[in-house]
Amino acid sequence: MTFKKVSWIKLIVHVAAWSWIFILVFDYIAGKLSINPIQAVTQRTGKAALIFLMLSLACTPINTLFGFNKIIQARRWLGLYAFFFASLHLLTFIGLDYGFNFSLLKYEFVQKRYILVGSLAFLLLIPLAITSFRWRILKHKQNWKRLHRLVYLIGALVIVHFGWVSKGDFFRLQGDVWEPFLFGVFFLLLLIIRVPQVSRSITNFRTNTR
């Protein structure tokens, strides 16, 4: 792929993702990751994975609302970066935090529900990432569409994971849970816009008001 073939919208996605990584590395080298750098890296990579996943889900609704079809070009890369950051998030957790001590991790999986939910979301992301390459899409178009509907379940699992790992009661909105709650509201709005009847109504309204 030559530079000329990279659209500006894809370029923005790449720059945003790698800037996030460079800032994380710089803060680590400069000692700006708080007194618990491993926890900070885990939290930052997890947040990045969630943001890129939500942005990938937002591409179609943005096109529906504003007729900005070029945003669809960014959807695949946003999803792949979501998987990339989720992988860093998981590796930091099991590698740096637990030192690949699977005996201890097995106990933690049973005791801490947010770990179980987050792991399930990551496992579901793997086939989506593998089948996100262009030749796979063209070869298995119909099956690809069905498989990639799992992203809605993944989005819900990731938000629940974020809510449960936060300090407080996520479902009662008590404690430090407002950020995952707002992500949940945003995710719900994206799902509503994707409902066929709603999507058609928005598109018709936008077309008639031009």
Short-list 16, 83, 89, 17, CA closest to 46: 89
Specify the higher pLDDT residue, 186 or 112: 186
Q: What is the pLDDT of residues 73-107, one digit of tens each?
A: 899 999 999 999 999 999 999 998 888 888 888 88
Specify the higher pLDDT residue, 51 or 179: 51
Asked, for residue 39, whether it belongs to a domain, the answer is yes
Name, in order, each residue with C-beta under 8 angstroms of 30's C-beta and a sequence gap of 6 or more. Answer: none
pLDDT at 77: 93
Contact 41, 96 (CB under 8 A): yes
- Mean pLDDT throughout 133-159? 73
- Mean pLDDT throughout 194-209? 87
pLDDT at 2: 43
- Mean pLDDT throughout 8-37? 92
Asked, for residue 209, whether it belongs to a domain, the answer is no
pLDDT band at 132 (very low <50, low <70, confident <90, very high): confident
Asked, for residue 12, whether it belongs to a domain, the answer is yes
- Mean pLDDT throughout 8-27? 94
Asked, for residue 138, whether it belongs to a domain, the answer is yes
Asked, for residue 55, whether it belongs to a domain, the answer is yes
Enclosing domain of residue 137: 3-203
Asked, for residue 16, whether it belongs to a domain, the answer is yes
pLDDT at 15: 96
pLDDT at 209: 75
pLDDT at 140: 55
* Residue 168, helix vs strand vs coil: strand
Provide the number of structural domains found in the chain: 1
- Mean pLDDT throughout 5-16? 87
Q: Is the pLDDT of residue 135 over 50?
A: no
CA distance 64 to 81: 23
Contact 186, 55 (CB under 8 A): no
Contact 73, 10 (CB under 8 A): yes
Tell me how many helices (H) and strands (E) the chain has.
10, 2
Residue 165 DSSP one-character state: H
Average pLDDT value for the chain: 86
Contact 195, 181 (CB under 8 A): no
- Mean pLDDT throughout 176-192? 91
Asked, for residue 109, whether it belongs to a domain, the answer is yes
Asked, for residue 8, whether it belongs to a domain, the answer is yes
- Mean pLDDT throughout 146-174? 81
Contact 115, 109 (CB under 8 A): yes
